[in-house]
Amino acid sequence: MDTNASVAQESTGSVSLADLKRKTKFTGTVVKTTLAGAIVDIGLGTPGVIHISQLQAEPTNRVEDVVKVGQTVEVWVRRVDPKKDRIELTMVEPLNLEWREITKGMVVQGKVSRLEKFGAFVEIGAERPGLVHVSEMTHGYIKSPGDILHEGDDVEVQVLEVNRRKKQIKLSMKALEEKPKKPGKPAAEKETPEVKEAPVPTAMEIALREAMERSNAKITAAKPRSKAKGSTADNEIEQILTRTLKNKVRTGN
């Protein structure tokens, strides 16, 4: 078993180098400086190494110009190599979102940093702010970004596109909004209920209807002249009924 690894495991308790995550923040003490950087004790048994390029965002000529032995510093984990028992640190606060971490469709929180006629720039913790075009702010029409946003506003946005080569991030606010329902058709445009066509009468039905109409016409024409004596039609009906009764008596039905 590797002796150095055993000592590191004993000193860190339940925490091993393999458990360390990138961007984890520590407060440490500078224990040594060299031409190439500084060594910092962060309380894990294995000291961390800060390269001269990671002491500050600006270029550094001499390590002692930035840190000195015994100084307390804030550092972040930059890289861990458990096999080599090595922890690389940085004093430059890392970005919340690095280019390789930004993906299409992800939802992030941001703050409006600047408004332009064509849209709004939003800080999302990346190297550069993302752009919400005015057409991606809401489903409705707005004349300018200032109609609904102000600098300093906290917003939730979705990544539409990321171009690492050009270092551009396109964002959307309306992608997280529910799409408005389409208005119903006006009353004039609503479909009228289907009207069923009347069936075409057959020749027999037409003949029967005409015969009934002629009979009714005769009855109607005869009524004024037969109020006292009874109409011809009534006589005919009476005769028909009489014959019908006689036939029933004769046949026994």
| pLDDT(20) > 70 | yes
Closest CA to 121 of 166, 167, 147, 152: 152
Q: What is the CA radius of gyration of the chain?
A: 48
Of residues 1 and 53, which shows the higher confidence score? 53
pLDDT, tens digit (0-9, with 9 covering 90-100), for 200-247: 566 666 666 666 776 666 666 655 554 444 456 556 656 665 665 565
Bridge partners of residue 39, in order along the sequence: 32, 49
* pLDDT (average), residues 19-25: 90
The whole-angstrom separation of Cα 174 and Cα 152 is 19
pLDDT, tens digit (0-9, with 9 covering 90-100), for 87-109: 999 999 999 899 999 999 999 99
pTM for this one? 0.55
Bridge partners of residue 75, in order along the sequence: 26
The whole-angstrom separation of Cα 108 and Cα 87 is 30
3-state secondary structure of 92: coil
**Residue 124: predicted pLDDT:** 95
All domains in the chain, ordered by first residue: 3-90 (2.40.50.140), 99-176 (2.40.50.140), 208-251 (no CATH)
